[in-house]
Structure 1
Amino acid sequence: MNWKKWTVILVGTLFMIGNLYLIYKKDSEIKRMSYVDTWTTVKKQNLVESQTDEGLITPVEEEYIYYEEKTGNFEAFLVKEGDQVEENTPILELSSVDIDTAISQKELEISRLEDDIAALEDNIDSLDDLLGDIESSITEENESSNTIMANSLEIEIYEKELQVSRLEAELEKQETVLASMDESISSLTIDSKIAGIVKEIRHDLNNPIVTITSNNLQVEATLTEKEISTFEEGMKVVITSGLQKDKLEGTISSISTLPKNEPKEKKETQYSYIIELDEQPSSNIPLGSNVNLKIITNEINDALTVSTKSIQEKGAKSYVYVMMANGTIERRQIETGLQLNHVKEIKANAEEGEKFVLKANTLKNKTKFYTSLEPKKLKKKDFKEMGKRKALKTALKGFVS
């Protein structure tokens, strides 16, 4: 053996002999120290609390096409069940027998919308004038009452401007329909408003005579009255399916407060909730297929965590024993948070990297502690990296301590 190996053996042997002497010496200080057998380290982790469920793939929306005799006589369906259609695909063809009547009705409707918009705009102008008079006449004596009146007028003006915006949007829509009627005076068609699949056609002409389901998918699931308080809109959801290789991600977009079925006494009422997908699936998933859900009910990123075995509870308070750098144990009260399995979040009074006692022969605040020497963990390269001077200094420091 060379001198390096002998140095390692000698330091280890002296250290063990010194420890044995201190332990068995009468009135030894070691007997008044805490022997720490095992400990744990405070770490940063992402804590995710979740709940599993099952759901069904459903379309985001369905379009219902209605047939009204006053718009023209029915001629033919231009699609069949199962057809894939795009937005503005012709669905129905109507004859032009009553097209003139339909155009007249549409023109009357447009005229009514224009009159309503004009009346509202006149009303807004009057309110603006009144608001200007009030604002110009505000003095210290009437400031409070005039300010209230001015605020009230501003709210009323805003509401009427919203009404004008809605009516203008409806007017634009009706003018578009009228232009379409004029362009196809000999033949009138009803087009789809969404891209999707023709789900149902009613050849008996009972409304809705055509149902189209959209290509965009969502997930619909059910929860009980006990679960409804634990779910919130905006919660993240991970969706898996045997028909989709990759996991899908989504968000709970709505939770219905109306019962899914007729409520019955002594039976749990069920409610439905909708999950909006962040991205549509890359492969086709049939409508109505089953999927597995993982709802993220609580998520904490970069939480300080520690093993629950290191925490002692006393009433509503939590304590840990910290192995301090000066060789003593400190009893410290901490604030805890979320617990997952055998790990618990520490919300206050702890730092990453601190070591908490898991098992010791005795625990007392401000007492010194020692741990077992593990020669197997003494490696030649560690001493080499430290250098002879530092290795010797460290060993002597241990003996003196």
Structure 2
Amino acid sequence: MNKGLVQLLSVIAAIAFICVNLFLIEIEDSKVDRINYISSWKPLQTGNLIESFPAEGIIVPSEKHRIFIDKNTEFQEFLVEKGDKVESGTPLFEYASDHLDGQTALLDAEIDSLTDEKDSIDTFIENMEKMKSSLSPIHISYAEDDWGYEYDNEYDNDYDSDYEPDYHTETDREADIAREKRQEAAAIRELKLSLDRAIAEKELEKEKVDQEIQKYEDQREAIESGRSGLTVIASVDGIVEDISFELDNPVMTIVSEDPIVEGRLLEEQIAKVEEGMQVNITSNMFKGQIIGDISKVDELPISDPSIDQASLYQFTATLGDHDKDLYVGYHVQAEIVTETAMKVPVLHEKSILHETGKDYMWLLTDQGVVRKRKIGTGLKVGKRVEVTSGGKLGEYYVVDQQEVQEQAPFITPFKVNKSLVETWNETNSRKKLKYILIGVLQR
């Protein structure tokens, strides 16, 4: 068969295909009316959804310790400078030596007062312990009576027979005694718990007093060791941030070396943020990011509320382990993560059909039919939506739900590949015509 005949048959087949389809379309209730043409489909897969919003922040010290000066004592000199690193016990400044005796006496008075307070606490704890030990437990053991209890003979001997109520049976009297003993035992247990709480509170108070005593003793030791005046020492590790050479209080501020992030939230943002939420910190000052978490959210605005301007609220974020060189004052971006859904089935919003307040997806079945299935949806980030129910991983669905007219058979585009073209070219003309007619007349 020559090439011209093949071309003629191809043209005839094409015309026949168009005519038959036009005929089928015009027939009322034709199957062609109910066929969905699906141009794009894919299997349902998992994804990660992260809902977040940005906020501006700045690197600041995690703690500030303010040192105050005694205005009634003559000042001599500072022993550190602004920017110096100090440790607990480092001398910070000293008073003039001519006030040495008076300051020593003042320290002794404070130590004596705190020692008396400590002795008083010890006495209180000792009395509480004695009171606790004096509370004898009610002895209750199982026996043959209806309540399952047997009591000490001593308790029964104390019973006043002159006031014995009119019991109908001996069992009634034993039941009343058992009930009274249970009530007494419960009261004793409650009293012991109260004593334990009181003792614990006093022990904690005693620890604080011991710390105060140690602080004054350290200062007194500094004087006695030959220093030229009453020396005030640092109680924490950190960096000297500020010194007031005018001797205004606070005369010195020490900040910790551990950095944190302070940032600002808009009015519409503060309700979304809670302590413990993840924060991703980035900046032009360093590469990569630092992961932290929200440690505090102020409920009051930073400045006094004004009807003429929006309110801003401060949040604090602690930083996780990192290898970045951070300096106080660095400006950063804080991406606050408010909600996540990790490794969950995800659909694009254009794949979801919304009807009467419910959500559906169109599935391609093995029978060649598009079927509608109800689904549950969860977190939405951008145009991606979490599928919480109704979707099975790997099932093929219609990417654009608007391509589906109704629950009916579907056809998809014919995708030609190289091997298919080669096979077609190797097929003789008679078989080609046969395949074309089968395709046209199959429905």
Q: TM-score, structure 2 length as denominator?
A: 0.72
Answer yes or no: is the 8 Å Cα contact 1:117–1:168 preserved in 2. Answer: no
Matched residue SS, 2:247: coil
Q: Which of 336, 351, 366 lines up with 2:377 in the alignment? A: 336
Asked if residue 82 in structure 1 is aligned to residue 93 in structure 2, the reply is no
Partner AA of 1:54 in structure 2: E
Q: 1:194 matched to which residue of 2?
A: 236
Matched residue SS, 1:335: strand
The alpha-carbon distance between structure 1 residues 129 and 21, as it changes in their structure 2 partners (threshold 3 A), is farther
Q: Which of 268, 291, 300 lines up with 2:332 in the alignment? A: 291
- What is the CA distance between 1:202 and its match in structure 2? 1.9
Matched residue SS, 1:75: strand
- What is the CA distance between 1:121 and its match in structure 2? 1.1
The alpha-carbon distance between structure 1 residues 256 and 148, as it changes in their structure 2 partners (threshold 3 A), is farther
Map Cα deviations across residues 197-248 of structure 1 (whole Å, 9 max, x no partner).
2122122333221111221111111223332211111111111122222322
- What is the CA distance between 1:30 and its match in structure 2? 5.8
- What is the CA distance between 1:368 and its match in structure 2? 3.0
Answer yes or no: is the 8 Å Cα contact 1:36–1:359 preserved in 2. Answer: no
Q: Which of 21, 34, 38 lines up with 1:36 in the alignment? A: 38
Matched residue SS, 1:97: helix
Gaps of 5+ in 2: 1-13, 141-150, 152-176, 422-434
Map Cα deviations across residues 10-56 of structure 1 (whole Å, 9 max, x no partner).
xxxxxx9xx99996785885664433222243221110111111112
Q: 1:11 matched to which residue of 2?
A: none
Q: 2:200 matched to which residue of 1?
A: 161
Answer yes or no: is the 8 Å Cα contact 2:115–2:213 preserved in 1. Answer: no
Alpha-carbon distance between aligned partners in 1 of 2:124 and 2:237, rounded to the nearest angstrom: 36
Matched residue SS, 2:106: helix
Q: How does 1:16-55 map to 2 (within 5 A)?
A: 32-55=34-57
Asked if residue 304 in structure 1 is aligned to residue 319 in structure 2, the reply is no
Moved more, 238-247 or 354-363: 354-363
Matched residue SS, 2:38: strand
Alpha-carbon distance between aligned partners in 1 of 2:323 and 2:56, rounded to the nearest angstrom: 17
The number of residues matched between the two structures is 368
- What is the CA distance between 1:75 and its match in structure 2? 2.9
- What is the CA distance between 1:363 and its match in structure 2? 3.5
**Percent of aligned pairs with the same residue?**
25
Map Cα deviations across residues 298-323 of structure 1 (whole Å, 9 max, x no partner).
11111210111111111321111111
Moved more, 31-40 or 319-328: 31-40
Q: How does 1:111-150 map to 2 (within 5 A)?
A: 111-129=115-133, 132-133=136-137, 139-141=178-180, 143=182, 147=186, 150=189
- What is the CA distance between 1:100 and its match in structure 2? 3.1
Answer yes or no: is the 8 Å Cα contact 2:219–2:233 preserved in 1. Answer: no
Q: 2:390 matched to which residue of 1?
A: 349
Q: 1:252 matched to which residue of 2?
A: 294
Alpha-carbon distance between aligned partners in 1 of 2:243 and 2:320, rounded to the nearest angstrom: 31
Q: TM-score, structure 1 length as denominator?
A: 0.79
Q: Which of 245, 264, 268 lines up with 2:310 in the alignment? A: 268
- What is the CA distance between 1:270 and its match in structure 2? 2.4
Answer yes or no: is the 8 Å Cα contact 2:132–2:195 preserved in 1. Answer: no
